[in-house]
Amino acid sequence: MMTILKRRTAVSLLAAALTVAPLGQPWLFAQQDAGNGTFTLKVQSDIVLTNVVVRDKKTGAVVKGLKASDFTVLENGKPQTIRSFDFQAVDEAVALHENATVSGKTSIADLVNRNFAADPAELKDHRLIVMFFDLSSMQPEDIDRAVESAQDYIKSKMQPADLVALVSMSTALTMDQDFTADKTALLRGVGRYNGSEGTGFANGNEGGTSEGTADDGSSFTADDSEYNALNTDRELYAIRSIAKSLEKVDQRKSLLYFSGGLTRQGIENQASMRAATNAAVRANMAIYSVDSRGLEALPPVGNASQGSLRGTSAYSGGAMQSQLDANFGSQEVLSTLSSDTGGKAFFDSNDFGPVFQQIQHDTEAYYIIGFRSANPARDGAYRHLTVKVNRPDLKLEYRPGYYAPADFQHQKTEDRELALTEQMRSDLPATDVALYLQALYFRMTDNRFFVPVSLIVPGSQISFIKNGDRDKATIDFIGQIKNSQGIVVGDARETVKLALDQAQQAQRKNIQYSTGFTLAPGRYHLKFVVRENQTGRMGSFETDLQVPDLKKLPMKMSSIVLASQQAPSNDKKNTNNPLIRDGVEWIPNVAHVFRQDQHLYFLYEVYDPTREKGQAPAPSPGLTRRPAGAVKVLTSIQFMSGGVKVYETPLIQADAVNVPDRGAVAFQFDVPLAQLKPGTYVCQVNVIDDAGGSFSFPRLALRVQPAAAPVQAAPAAQATTGGR
């Protein structure tokens, strides 16, 4: 059962940009010159390429000397005409001059604009290797290990057929060296990474318990799963950008990805993973992932870099299992990237030499076959490829298919609605529009929870049409939630029309859309698709969602809402929405990024607190006297920076249940941010049920940005336990 309680669009700060280019098929269009009335006929013709490795069935040796007439290509069972045919063999490569580069350019603009190779003919019969150093995920010792292995390959194992490019990411994606055979330039390039500082956010642990955490200042670790998801998306988008920059190069490419591990936890965008792998497949780029941490020792009680562990987990095996799970989780994404793109992953070894040998072996010889699809439909459907050869003693290795593009401008209304529905059903993610999502939960009854869902779309992604002094746009939202059996238990569909004053500068802000579901405890899969209706570009976000069974927890709490905006609500129908209180709607800040001139609002609830025996609650306006004893729930919020407490709100105490229809004690905090310096903070929410002897200390990460203008001294934080 699903109930849509509230939908709302709002403009908020925080912008992001994403640029993609779809794969196309041949099509024609005419454009009239407004000046002289003449017509210009333009042709867009995209060829579909697939690389085929032909091996002898008995020996496994690469078979050379085949012609285009020896092959048959089928798309969805229909024969296709081969338009291009080539054979690449690295043993036939002509050695380049020792200081030669392909394009001679080394700017990030070349990477984004796909100008890696000025003359693609120069790449024939060469092995193309991109070394991608993800400095944001590696510690200094990991970088040293990766650099040393790369230097060893360049000095002693690099072959005349090898062309190598260097790409890195710390705070931004940069191309540090274009494809080159110059060993001196490559050694100089990788040497720049040696000793660099890691800049990524550390993998946080879930809040709410102190079991298995270090008993010192290092125990205050942010629950930055949301930051990790954004950070992981950034790394996956970087891989996608590299793949798209190389998709016009016909030859097979190998991406050697040095990483300190990628962890995807909490609410995460699975669409970004599929987008990265699909872009790599379309660009014929295999990813070879290397865990630069090498072979790690995992002491049960931790190492010298952390304090002693609390609780008994160090002696029961719990701490060891937690470390193993964390290590496996950080390698799982790397393994998926490699397996889904035809590469291999290398873990738990301090010798990175085999990865270079594997790349050289996998790219020794292959055929490149190109055709133009006989199917002109731009429907975005998956098209299966079958390649045959006219000799029974041979076996073929090739990619099984590709996704066709979709043309929005030529679709009818019913076709556009069908396109949205098909995108909901498709395993291929839509990533032309950046999209991020946050889901929270609040208990309504013992077995029902309200799950508010907030989506943000950067205004820079929306094509606004100027109409007088207004900027107008139309956005379609469609969502669906399935239970663990794959049955649809809720959906949402709405078209939002925006008409904003130009002074609001919508292009520099975010569009936020909110809706909600009523769900029982359990595991679910949530997917949303958004489309802006000027160009038809789409974005998708999907994630696994777990609604907890609070009956099994000693401290029953809702999610913690962080907001920077509150707006009057005229919604009289959905009075059970916990985000609407006293006629005011709380708008969650999805990215947890705030400005100094804003207020930070906290909202959370504690359910079924223990009542003290023999006491009755003091009467309060608006509350019904209950026969049971009084409650005693204490709470405060601490702000930590670098492990040091820099601010704490006043401690407040709740003596009564203030939301009696849901058995909840609701807490609200208003913290002016002018008193905090710009930077990243760890917020620890302290909640103690004094009568029941239970407690919880969930932690969250947030960032405070400088204000646009100087701010005045801030008043003290305010807190209340008032209900709706």
Question: 317-347: per-residue pLDDT in tens?
Answer: 555 556 555 555 566 778 878 877 778 888 7
Please report which confidence band the pLDDT of residue 642 belongs to, taking 50, 70 and 90 as the band edges: confident
Question: What distance lies between CA 33 and its chain's CA centroid?
Answer: 43
Q: 712: pLDDT confidence band, cut at 50, 70 and 90?
A: low
**pLDDT tens digit sequence for 410-435:** 566 766 887 788 788 887 788 888 88
Backbone angles phi, psi at 665, to 5 degrees: -105, 115
Q: Is the pLDDT score of 225 beyond 50?
A: no
Fold: same for 1-22+431-549 and 553-724? yes
Q: Which residues contact 416 (CB under 8 A, 6 or more apart)?
A: 408, 533, 536
559 with 664: CB under 8 angstroms? no
At residue 281, the 3 state secondary structure works out as helix
Least confident of 106-110, 220-224, 539-543, 684-688: 220-224
Mean of all residue pLDDT scores within the chain: 75
For residue 535, what pLDDT is reported? 84
Q: Which residues 6+ apart lie within 8 Å of 194 measured at CB?
A: 143, 144, 147
Instruction: Output the pLDDT for position 410.
Output: 58
Q: What is the C-alpha to C-alpha distance for residues 55 and 53, in angstroms, rounded to an integer? A: 6
Structure tokens at 474: 């139309």
> Rounded distance, CA 493 to CA 475, Å?
11
pLDDT beyond 60 at 214 = no
Lowest average pLDDT, out of 112-116, 134-138, 276-280, 715-719, goes to 112-116
CATH class of 553-724: mainly beta
Q: Which residues on adjacent β-strands are paired with residue 365?
A: 89
Strands (E), 510-577: 510-519, 522-532, 538-547, 556-557, 561-568
CA distances from 99 to 102, 155, 162, 304, 516 (A): 10, 14, 13, 46, 60
Least reliable range by pLDDT among 10-19, 165-174, 644-653: 10-19
DSSP 303-345: -TTS-PBPSSHHHHSHHHHHHHHHHHHHHHHHHHHHHHHT--E
What are 402's two structure tokens? 């590709």
Find the largest Cα–Cα distance for the chain.
Answer: 93
Residue 570 CB neighbours (<10 A)? 7
Mean pLDDT, range 244-271, rounded to an integer: 71
If you write DSSP's letter for every residue of 166-200 in order, what string do you get? Answer: EEEESSSEEEEEEEE--HHHHHHHHHTTTTPPP-S
Instruction: Name the token pair of 550.
Output: 């609070």
The count of other CB atoms within 10 Å of the CB of residue 297 is 5
pLDDT at 665 over 90: yes
What is the model's pLDDT at position 519? 94
Instruction: Judge whether residue 10 has pLDDT over 70.
Output: no
Q: Which residue has the tokens 């125990």?
A: 219
Say whether pLDDT at 367 is over 60: yes
The predicted structure's pLDDT at residue 91? 62
Most confident option among 65-69, 235-239, 417-421: 65-69
Written as six digits, the tokens of 59 are 């020996």
- As beta bridge partners, residue 44 has 27
Q: Assign 499 a pLDDT band (cuts: 50, 70, 90).
A: confident
Residue 691 pLDDT > 80, yes or no? yes
281-293: b or e for each residue (b if 16 or more CB lie within 10 Å)? bbbbbbbbbbbbb
Give the mean pLDDT of 687-697: 90
d(CA 331, CA 200): 16
Question: Which one of 2.40.50, 3.40.50, 1.25.40, 3.30.450 gives the CATH number of domain 92-270+283-358?
Answer: 3.40.50
Residue 294: what pLDDT? 63
Q: Count other C-beta atoms under 10 Å from residue 366's C-beta.
A: 22
In the predicted model, what is the mean pLDDT of residues 114-142?
72
Q: Quick: pLDDT tens for 269-324.
A: 566 777 787 788 778 888 898 887 765 555 655 555 555 555 555 555 555 556 55
Parse the chain into domains and list their residue ranges: 1-22+431-549, 92-270+283-358, 553-724
Picking from 41-55, 80-94, 581-595, which range would have the lowest pLDDT averaged per residue? Answer: 41-55
Q: State the DSSP code for 659.
A: B
Quote the pLDDT of residue 477.
93
Q: Higher pLDDT residue, 357 or 454? A: 454
User: How does residue 72 score in pLDDT terms, banded at 50, 70 and 90?
Assistant: very high
Residues 6+ apart with CB under 8 A from 584: 566, 567, 568, 569
Give the position of tokens 């939630």: 481
Q: What's at 503, amino acid-wise?
A: A
DSSP, collapsed to helix, strand or coil, labels residue 38 as coil
User: In this structure, what DSSP letter does residue 676 have?
Assistant: S
What is residue 686's predicted lDDT score, i.e. its pLDDT? 94
Alpha helix segments (H runs only) across 33-154:
108-112, 140-152
pLDDT for the residue numbered 344: 84
Neighbours of 517 (CB within 10 A): 26
Answer yes or no: are the C-beta atoms of 306 and 217 closer than 8 Å.
no
Query: Domain 1-22+431-549 - what CATH class?
Result: mainly beta
Q: What is the pLDDT of residue 289?
A: 86
- Asked if residue 101 has pLDDT above 80, the reply is no
Is the whole-model pTM more than 0.75? no
* C-alpha span between 705 and 680 (Å, rounded): 9
Look at residue 295 in the predicted model and tell me its pLDDT: 59
Cβ atoms < 10 Å from Cβ of 357:
11
More reliable by pLDDT, 370 or 570 = 370
Q: Is 482 exposed, middle or buried, given 0-12, 13-18 or 19+ CB atoms closer than 10 A? A: middle
pLDDT at res. 326? 58
Greater confidence (704 vs 426) lies with 704
Euclidean distance between CA atoms 483 and 478, whole angstroms? 17
